Amino acid sequence: MNSPTATPEWEYAPAPERFDPGIKDRYRLFIGGRFVASRGRKTFETINPATEAVLSRCDEANSEDVDAAVAAARAAFRKWSRTKPKERAKYLYRIARRIQERSRELAVLETMDGGKPIRESRDVDIPLVAQHFFHHAGWCDKLQYAFPGATDPRPIGVCAQVIPWNFPLLMLAWKIAPALACGNTVVLKPAETTPLTALRFAEICEECELPAGVVNILTGAGETGRHLVEHPDVDKVAFTGSTAVGKRIAASSAGTGKRLTLELGGKSPNIIFADASIDQAIEGIVQGIWFNQGHVCCAGSRLFVQESVLSEVIAKLERRLRTLRVGDPLDKNTDVGAINSGPQLATIQQYLTEGTAEGATMHQPSTQSLPDKGFWCQPCFLSDVQPNHVIAREEIFGPVLAVMSFRTPEEAISRANDTRFGLAAGVWTDKGSKIFEVASRLQAGIVWLNTYNRFDATSPFGGVKESGFGREGGLHGLRGYLSL
Ligand code: NAD
C-alpha cells in the first residue's frame, strides 16, 4: 500500500509499459515429467480478471489423469524417498534460484491471471515463494536433528495437494517445498481461475531436471480436486481452501488412514485499544483487509475499536480509503487490483447488500473511476455492525471491513473469539502487559502484535476451530510431511 499521504484522488490511467510473460495458447497436464493431453480432451479458459480477456486454455484433468499422475508420483517416490538428503537439497536450491531468476515473469503472470497488484506479486508473493524453497532446501539434511527423540523421520509417500486462487504460487510453495524436502512426491492441483504460475512452475521443474514424477501438476476444477483427494493410493492430503470444501475432504478422508492437513477460511479480528498509536494502527488495518483485495484467508476482516477512539478511527479510515488507488493491477502504483472472478464479485456484492439491509452503515468514500471491463469492488467498510450480522460472521473474502466497538479488554477478547473460525488476530496497543494478556487468550493460530499480515518461511501458519488444523512453514510445518 502507498504511504497514507502520498496520493490524492485521481482518474484511472493504464500503465505505459508492458512486459510479455510469454503465455501459451494452450497448456497441458504435467504428469511424470512431461506435458501430456488430458484423457478426457476437455479444456477450460483462464481469463485476466482485470480485462476479461482470455489468457489461455488449460486441460481439465479427469479421473484417469488423476490415476496416471498418482501412479507417476508413486513410481517416483521409490527413488526420491531414498535420494540422499543433500541431493534433494540441490534440487530445491536450484528451483529457488530459478524462481528468483524468473521472478519478473512470474510476478506478471500471477498478476495477469489472478488480478492482484504487481507491487504485491513482485514484492511479496514471488520473494516469499523463493524464500520457501531456500528455507526448505536447508532442512533436507537436518531432519533427524529437527525432532529430538525421533531417530529416523521418514517421508509419508504420495501427497495430494489442492490450493486456492488468492496466492497461487505462494500456496504451491507452501505445499511443495516441505513435501519434497522431506522426501515425498506430490500431485498438486491449482485453482481453476489461476492455473498459470503452477504450470510455469512445472517448466521450472523441467529446467532444474527434477526427476520425473516427483512433482505432477493437474489443472481442473472441484471435480478434479475431488478425484485427487479421494484417490486410494494417496498417503497424505494437504488442502487450502474454503471451510465448506475442507469439511467434505475431512469426511471423505475419515477412516482411510490418509494423513490430512487443512488450511481453511477465517474471519479474523483486528483489535485496536485506545492507547495504541492510531496512525500506525490505521496502516495495519489497511494492510490487514485491503491487501490483495481482501482475498486473504487471515484478513483482519472484523475490526474492534475501543469506544473512545471509534470516531477518530472511522474518520481516519475514510481519509485513507480515498488515497487507495484501485485499477490496473499491472500498474506499479496500484494499491487494490481486480476481484479474482465474476462469481467472487457477485458474492461480495451480495454481502454488501445484506450488510446494509441488516442496518450497517456503508463507507465507500472513494469517487475514483474504475476500468470499464473486469471485476472491480471499491474498498469499503461498514460501521454500526452488530455481532449477529451476517457480515460480522461469514467470510466475505473481499475488500470489505466490518467495524465494531468495545469498552473493556474482556469484552474485546470475548467478541473476538465469538466466531467459528480461528485463523489469525491482530492487537494494537502500546502496553506490553496488555499485549501478552490479550494475545494469550485469543483463539487463533497466529496473533500479530502492532502489525498485520506478516509472513515468513520460518513461521508456522495455520488455524484452530473451523479454520483447520496442521501448520505450514518453519519446523512445525515439516511434521505434516513426516512419519515421526
Ligand atoms: P474452494 O474451497 O472453493 O477451492 C479451493 C480449491 O479446492 C480449488 O483448487 C478448487 O478447485 C478445489 N476444490 C473445490 N471443490 C473440491 C472438492 N470437492 N474436493 C477437492 N478439491 C476441491 O476455495 P476458494 O474459493 O478457491 O478459496 C478461498 C478460500 O480459501 C477461502 O475460504 C479462504 O479463506 C481459504 N484460504 C485459506 C488459506 C489458509 O491458509 N487457511 C489460504 C488461502 C485461502
What percent of the chain has pLDDT above 70?
96
Segment 418-440, tens digit of pLDDT: 999 999 999 999 999 999 999 99
| Same-domain check for residues 43 and 82 | yes
Nine cell digits for residue 320: 485513507
Residue 373 lies in a domain: yes
Nearest in space to 467 (alpha carbons), one of 425, 415, 414: 425
Choice from 264, 393, 400, 421 to test ligand 1 binding pocket (greatest atom count within 8 A of CB): 264
| Same-domain check for residues 433 and 469 | no
* Residue ranges making up the domain that contains 344: 269-449
| Same-domain check for residues 341 and 425 | yes
Residue 459 lies in a domain: no
Q: Check 182, 297, 298, 377 and give the catalytic one.
A: 297
Average pLDDT, the chain: 95
Residue 8 has pLDDT above 60, yes or no: no
Residue 456 lies in a domain: no
Nearest in space to 67 (alpha carbons), one of 40, 44, 43, 42: 40
| Same-domain check for residues 131 and 258 | yes
Residue 3 lies in a domain: no
Ligand 1 pocket at CB < 6 A: 162-166, 189, 191-192, 221-222, 225-226, 229, 240-242, 245, 248-249, 263-266, 297, 395, 397, 423, 463, 467-468
| Same-domain check for residues 97 and 179 | yes
Give DSSP secondary structure letters for 314-335.
HHHHHHHHHH--BS-TTSTT-S
Coil, strand or helix at 288: helix
CA distance 453 to 448: 8
Residue 1 lies in a domain: no
**Nearest atom (ligand 1) to Cα of 167:** 43
Choice from 242, 295, 347, 400 to test ligand 1 binding pocket (greatest atom count within 8 A of CB): 242
Question: Tell me, what's the pLDDT at 150?
Answer: 84
- 210: which residues sit within 8 A by CB, 6+ positions away? 33, 91, 95
| Same-domain check for residues 289 and 203 | no
Residue 148 has pLDDT above 90, yes or no: no
Residue 344 lies in a domain: yes
Segment 179-224, tens digit of pLDDT: 999 999 999 999 999 999 999 999 999 999 999 999 999 999 999 9
**What is the 71 CA–ligand 1 centroid distance (Å)?**
25
263 given a catalytic annotation: yes
| Same-domain check for residues 281 and 184 | no
| Same-domain check for residues 286 and 421 | yes
| Same-domain check for residues 112 and 134 | yes
Domains of the chain: total: 2
Segment 225-281, tens digit of pLDDT: 999 999 999 999 999 999 999 999 999 999 999 999 999 999 999 999 999 999 999
- At 166, which CATH number? 3.40.605.10
**What is the 219 CA–ligand 1 centroid distance (Å)?**
14
Residue 457 lies in a domain: no
Find how far residue 372's CA is from the centre of its chain: 28
208 given a catalytic annotation: no
**What is the 103 CA–ligand 1 centroid distance (Å)?**
25
β-partners of residue 303 are 270, 403
Segment 377-397, tens digit of pLDDT: 999 999 999 999 999 999 999
Amino acid, single-letter form, for residue 262: L
| Same-domain check for residues 154 and 113 | yes
pTM of the model: 0.96
- At 435, which CATH number? 3.40.309.10
**Nearest atom (ligand 1) to Cα of 248:** 18
| Same-domain check for residues 284 and 422 | yes
Conformational region of residue 152, where left means phi above 0, alpha means psi within -120 to 50, and beta covers everything else: beta
- Could you tell me the pLDDT band of residue 15, with boundaries at 50, 70 and 90? low
Question: Which protein residue has the closest C-alpha to ligand 1 atom 15?
Answer: 222
**What is the 240 CA–ligand 1 centroid distance (Å)?**
5
> Which value, to the nearest 10 degrees, does the dihedral of the CA atoms of residues 428, 432, 435, 437 take?
-150
| Same-domain check for residues 119 and 229 | yes
Residue 364 lies in a domain: yes
